[in-house]
């Protein structure tokens, strides 16, 4: 596959993920965060299952055992992040949630300090720009930060931890395998917690069926597959930049599906945050010895 076609696959994945925020906002009005995420992640697992069965053929027990362990840990992290994100979306807009969530790309290098990795001056400047953008995006008329935006920020922290864990332990596994097992783990945990903490009826599920199916089939199943396929033929930096458009698509999705609008200050915050995220992904020039 040529790189330009592969980039189109990544752009489509970012579009699907971006529009998911609008559907998540709709779901928040009809079903609790645990049950929503539990059902949609189990659907995502079912969508990926045919690929997993094919890939696992011929794998030894050690591979499957390690996949179960690390897939479960990834599932706990992504389940927690998705649950916190769903709660936050109930208090803010889909567009703002998409941009604030994208802060995870800036948080990863900062959190990497905890494991001894160095952070360049460029990244520190991008983090500063990201914080300024997030502040302009989140501050309300009374001079405070919106409750939902604070919750979404913690979601970005959890997504950053998820990315760091995959970076450290995920290279030993096929990407589809790891994704499927993490969806299964997260789905089961969310369903179990939701069954004790939320009151869910068939009417709740019926009213949220479109957001659930979109997130389960589209976001978890199709978009992830597009990412896995596309990244095989695209340079890492180009791939990251294409996928980072998810935040911009979240605003488009919020406007089209929910009729959301933004003030000039919020749009400026989006622009600063988006530029900071993009610059952070660009490769740095190696200094000559």
Give dist(CA 210, CA 213) in Å, integer: 5
Q: Are 130 and 103 in contact (CB under 8 A)?
A: yes
Q: Is the dihedral of CA 193, 195, 197, 198 positive or negative?
A: positive
Residues 6+ apart with CB under 8 A from 66: 172, 173
What's the alpha-carbon Rg for the chain, to the nearest Å? 19
Give dist(CA 76, CA 107) in Å, integer: 19
Give dist(CA 67, CA 14) in Å, integer: 26
Neighbouring CB atoms inside 10 A of 217's CB total 17
Q: What is the pLDDT along the chain (289 residues), one digit of tens a residue?
A: 777 788 888 889 889 988 998 998 888 888 998 999 999 999 999 988 888 877 777 788 888 889 889 989 989 998 999 999 999 988 888 888 888 888 887 888 888 787 777 778 888 888 888 888 888 877 765 556 778 888 999 999 998 888 888 878 877 887 788 888 889 999 999 999 999 998 888 998 999 899 999 999 998 888 877 877 777 777 666 777 777 788 888 888 888 888 888 888 888 888 888 888 878 777 666 554 4
User: Structure tokens of 69?
Assistant: 């362990």
pTM of the model: 0.84
Tell me the helix, strand and coil percentages in the chain, rounded to 5. Answer: 80, 0, 20
Give dist(CA 186, CA 188) in Å, integer: 6
Interhelix angle 3-28/246-258, nearest 10 degrees? 50
């Amino acid at each position: 596959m040529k790189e330009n076609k592969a980039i189109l696959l990544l752009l489509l994945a970012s579009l699907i993920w971006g529009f998911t925020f609008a559907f998540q906002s709709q779901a928040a009005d009809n079903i609790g965060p645990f049950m929503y995420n539990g059902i949609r992640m189990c659907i995502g697992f079912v969508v990926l299952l045919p690929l997993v069965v094919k890939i696992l053929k011929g794998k030894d027990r050690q591979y499957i055992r390690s996949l179960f362990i690390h897939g479960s840990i990834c599932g706990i992290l992504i389940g927690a992040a998705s649950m916190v994100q769903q709660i936050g979306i109930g208090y803010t807009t889909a567009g703002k949630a998409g941009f604030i969530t994208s802060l995870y790309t800036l948080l990863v290098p900062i959190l990497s300090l905890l494991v001894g990795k160095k952070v360049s001056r460029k990244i520190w400047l991008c983090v500063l720009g990201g914080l300024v953008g997030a502040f302009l995006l989140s501050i309300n008329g009374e001079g405070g930060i919106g409750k939902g935006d604070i919750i979404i920020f913690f979601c970005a922290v959890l997504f950053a931890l998820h990315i760091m864990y995959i970076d450290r332990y995920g290279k030993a596994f096929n990407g589809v395998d790891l994704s499927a097992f993490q969806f299964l783990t997260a789905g089961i945990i969310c369903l179990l917690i939701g069954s004790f903490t939320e009151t869910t009826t068939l009417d709740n599920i019926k009213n949220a069926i479109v957001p659930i199916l979109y997130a389960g089939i589209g976001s978890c199943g199709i978009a992830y597959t597009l990412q896995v396929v596309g990244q095989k033929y695209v340079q890492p930096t180009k791939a990251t930049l294409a996928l980072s458009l998810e935040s911009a698509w979240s605003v488009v999705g919020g406007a089209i599906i929910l009729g959301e609008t933004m003030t000039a200050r919020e749009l400026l915050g989006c622009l600063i945050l988006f530029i900071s995220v993009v610059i952070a992904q660009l490769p740095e020039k190696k200094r000559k010895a």
